Structure 1
């Protein structure tokens, strides 16, 4: 077998190195879950969540990290992995979402070998709901409105 055909076989049998980006939309004070899963058919892997786009190596601005079976680093109690890590569910849950949580996140599953890491970007977008003005705002004098008497003919 030639080196080229061996390399092509490795590429075909390797898991995909990049997953498509997802958008997650929510509102301030909600709980959001950023989905990220991988197959554990060949075992579990360490992984990280970072703020910003996925880089060539590791996670930039790491907010959460695992060793493949448990969380080993977390920068805030608002970040949790509520799925079954040993089954490849490393979806990030953010509680008490704030405006600062808006932006891009990177889920990176660290598989040994050059270019084997699984990477997924999630864009968190917040909806801002305009509040309806209260009744008092509609009638600036706060006086009761009464129907206008019209003369009868």
Structure 2
């Protein structure tokens, strides 16, 4: 009996925090950023209907380049959204990092969503997938 109560208490303590992060308090799952494919992002860029956001660190950018026109975040976890992304919270933003093994784009996208940006997506394949698909990259230049 005692072991059953302990097991129940442990299970409950693990479930409650997970539930708190998975729900916005109104019975809806917490918002996840949309996912876009490489071809979808290329089309959005060609139509000039997206702002692409690089969540990689400066060393990675220097070695691997960036997607042309990308906003270069100072940090994926502590950047200032309005300062680095602009005041228009209705603009379409697509965040990317290195690859599917990197979580920086998801972290940065979540930060943007928390700041009130409404149209936020991630490119799961990241810069590695972008390059493998034959898409162009450029050397990083500081944001102007």
Q: Which of 1 and 2 has greater Rg?
A: 1
TM over 0.5: no
Higher helix share: 2
Band of TM-score, shorter chain: under 0.3
**If the length of structure 1 is used for normalisation, what is the TM-score?**
0.27
**If the length of structure 2 is used for normalisation, what is the TM-score?**
0.28
Higher strand share: 1
